[in-house]
Amino acid sequence: MSKIGVFPASGGLGTSIVNHLRSLVPATDLILIARSPAKLSDEKEAGATIRQADYDDPATLDNAFDGIQTLMLISYASFEIDHRVKAHRIAIDKAIKSGVKHIFYSSLAFAGLTNKSLAHVMGAHLATEEYLSTKSEISYTIVREGIYTESFPIYTAWFDPQNPVDEITIPHSGDGPGVAWVKRDELGEATAKLIVSYVKDSSAFGYVNKMVLLSGQRVISLAETVQILGRAVGKDVKIREISVDEYAKLPHDGKHTYHGVDLSREWATAWEAIKDGEIAVVSPAIVEILGREPEQYEDSIRDLIGS
């Protein structure tokens, strides 16, 4: 089997993808690239090739992708646009130069099945998707990863199950279109299965130069989302809608700050996109790939919070 690369391989989604790849192919078929290779010591012991590289240090990418035929490129972890797009383009160009033949790119579920989004966080993804489509030297698959169940704090003003509040203040009423939440490890599993399916028989693979949306199978409003969180912590929790200006002025403890710039106002566009139904799009793809229904949101939250 040809070599499969994963970069970065030690983050949340990357770790899940790698874990599932290891159950599907020999570790010796994997080339795993991370900013901190020490985090991949178990994979190294199992026989995987481990390399060091960092999006923020482009020189480290010069030979990082050598010998890889199929690359899982996981997006830069932030919601900036210009910086992320530049980082992604450099990595794609370096991968092409190293001889990579196919790139799987981890995009995001905002925009649903379209190429337009109100969410600032989706801007870099759409630009990267477009960039990949211009590269005739390679083929690609865009994997629009659904909204992680585990990412609920971002959409609920940093709701903390260890210190739960009664009221969540966000620029959204909680009503209307919601979120097709999906467990991150099931996204990792489905993505790994897609990669292996391509590697085993690229001619029969249905997503060459196409996009696949991996979503949960039930849309849950933000109002119901916080009710589920409340039940998990044993507290009645409600949403109070505030303006974007008010949200931007809330203390976010640097969680919306990237490279010294506060992007709280830009993040608030995510709720505009939710109101527009962008992440209420349900695709059957994850069921087809996993061969089962994904875990229910409330069950995942209960396990996550430990209630």
Task: Give the tokens for residue 111.
Answer: 């925009």
Closest to 156 in 3D by CA, of 72, 79, 221: 221
The pair phi, psi for residue 103, each rounded to 5°, is: -120, 125
Q: Across the strands, what pairs with 57?
A: 54
pLDDT band for 135, please (50, 70, 90 cuts). Answer: very high
Could you tell me the residue ranges of all domains in the chain? 4-148+181-214, 152-177+217-280+297-305
Spatial distance between the Cα atoms of 6 and 206, rounded to a whole number of angstroms? 21
Q: Tens digits of per-residue pLDDT, 56-65?
A: 999 999 999 9
Pick from 216, 109, 245, 227: nearest CA to 159: 227
Residues in a beta bridge with 210: 141
Which fold, 4-148+181-214? Rossmann fold (3.40.50)
Q: Which CATH homologous superfamily contains domain 152-177+217-280+297-305?
A: UDP-galactose 4-epimerase, domain 1 (3.90.25.10)
199: amino acid identity, one letter = V
State the DSSP H helix or E strand holding residue 168, giving kind and residue range, or none if neither: strand 167-170
Burial class from Cβ neighbours inside 10 Å (0-12, 13-18, 19+) for residue 116 reads exposed
Per residue in 204-246, pLDDT (tens digit) is: 999 999 999 999 999 999 999 999 999 999 999 999 999 999 9
pTM: 0.97
